[in-house]
Amino acid sequence: MNAPVLQLSGVVKRYPGDPPVEALRGVSLAVGEGEMLAIMGRSGSGKSTLLHVMGTLDTADEGSVRVAGFDTSSLGDRQLSALRSRHIGFVFQQFFLLDGMSALDNTAEGLLYTGMALPERRAAARRALERVGLGHRLRHRPAQLSGGERQRVAIARAVVHRPAVVLADEPTGNLDSASGAAILDLLRDLHADGVTIAVITHDGAVAAAMPRLVEIEDGRVVGDSTR
């Protein structure tokens, strides 16, 4: 494995309750630079909690999380926001595009906290959209795009700032089978270009398309295999 861009060691995450709910139970996981993997588990297995902890959207109660070499436990909220904006790209099942903005400006939002001027952000967004095959849809708003095209915009937004890792949460979940297959092909193409990608899924067909499969059950990693 190449040097890890994401490393979890003994991560525990609890939620309040009587007794408390232990969503992650000592998870250790390393994602190397340039890897592509699926993290697979059933509903309630802990994979969504794992995504949030990996992406620094939530904090671990025990253990350590390092992103791009940074120990996240030593960072405050503003520093974590800066870390996410520079080193992590997110792709969600629901797309989370802004309806009143074009594909170009939705993608440029991925650079909002970098300090780049708007013309520079738009130029980078144009390149990212061309990279995902949407150079002809720059001015279209989300309502004018198909589900597959909206997910391509979301992927362009996730990679526009050249993050250390892209976390994709059920990226084909809202798509028909043909559009979903096209999105998987796109993710594989980006991986071939050197993008590090972790796909969180419950879909065995999606997991089977990944070179590495990490299986999670009841908050624990129960399998880790490379094809």
Q: Which helix (H) or strand (E) holds 18?
A: none
The CATH-assigned architecture of domain 35-60+76-226 is: 3-Layer(aba) Sandwich (3.40)
First to last CA, the chain: 14
Instruction: Give residue 61's identity as a one-letter amino acid code.
Output: D
Count the alpha carbons within 13 Å of 85 in the hemisphere toward its beta carbon. Answer: 15
Q: Can you give the residue ranges of every domain in the chain?
A: 35-60+76-226
Contact 173, 200 (CB under 8 A): no
Global pTM reads 0.93
Residues 211 and 1: their CA atoms lie apart, in Å, by 13
Contact 38, 216 (CB under 8 A): no
Count the alpha carbons within 13 Å of 141 in the hemisphere toward its beta carbon. Answer: 5
- Write out the chain's pLDDT in tens, 227 residues: 678 999 999 999 999 888 888 999 999 999 999 999 999 999 889 999 999 999 999 999 999 999 999 999 889 999 999 999 899 999 998 999 999 999 999 999 999 888 889 999 999 999 999 999 999 999 999 999 999 999 999 999 999 999 999 999 999 988 989 999 999 999 999 999 999 999 999 999 899 999 999 999 999 999 999 98
Instruction: Give residue 17's identity as a one-letter amino acid code.
Output: G
Residues 64 and 184: their CA atoms lie apart, in Å, by 31
